[in-house]
Amino acid sequence: MNVRTAFLARAAAAAIAASVALFGGVFAMAEQVDMNVGEQPGYVPTPEENQLSGAYERQEVFFRTSEPPGTVLIDTNNRFLYLVQPNNRALRYGIGVGRDGFQWQGVEKISRKQEWPDWRPPPEMIERQPYLPRFMAGGPGNPLGPRAMYLGKTIYRIHGTNQPQTIGHAVSSGCFRLVDDDIIDLYDRVPVGTKVIIKQAVVL
């Protein structure tokens, strides 16, 4: 094997190794389907637990879309919620989404907003976790967190959570959850009537 051939072989091997590392990470994220964790009514996370970092931390990003500023787009595959801003920008929030069998797509509007909403676990959740209370008044430790925004006439909401570790995972019964600071920030920016687009993937 001459020097040129040996060099090309080493380069090819390095490229293959890099590709495996890159796509292995991508596939690992794509495989985050269900998180095997039950609801924890009454648990109040610490400020440190509520502080996200990395990709799921709230941040402004480049975002090209034909939708007008103020529109909300939800990317269920990648666990992001985008609030469209002017000039090809968006505020991006990390979210938790519906577990396998509870994910959905569609176009809705924010029909109602509620501070410190009461929590009534749906039948599907009661079936999985029969020990849960059938009702819990709004307040710290409530699984819906400090704010909720209701999607049309569906049973689904965009709401807070007392389980910040579930952000980035598929764990809910179809709702979309954010950490407390993020849901309060979004709630204050989004009025009733806002268009919400739910997709498996959002193309930037």
Active site residues: 159, 175
Please compute, for residue 132, the number of CA atoms within 13 A of its CA located in the half-sphere on the CB side. Answer: 22
Distance CA 124, CA 156 (A): 13
DSSP assignment letter at 99 = P
- 174 contacts 104 by C-beta, under 8 angstroms: yes
Task: Give the residues across from 113 on adjacent strands.
Answer: 149
Q: Residue 193 is encoded by which pair of tokens?
A: 């009537």
With beta carbons less than 8 A apart as the criterion, state whether 99 and 171 touch.
yes
Q: Return d(Cα 48, Cα 101) in angstroms, integer.
A: 32
The sign of the dihedral angle between the CA atoms of 41, 117, 73, 122 is positive
Paired tokens of 115: 């501070």
Contact by Cβ (8 Å): 142, 41: yes
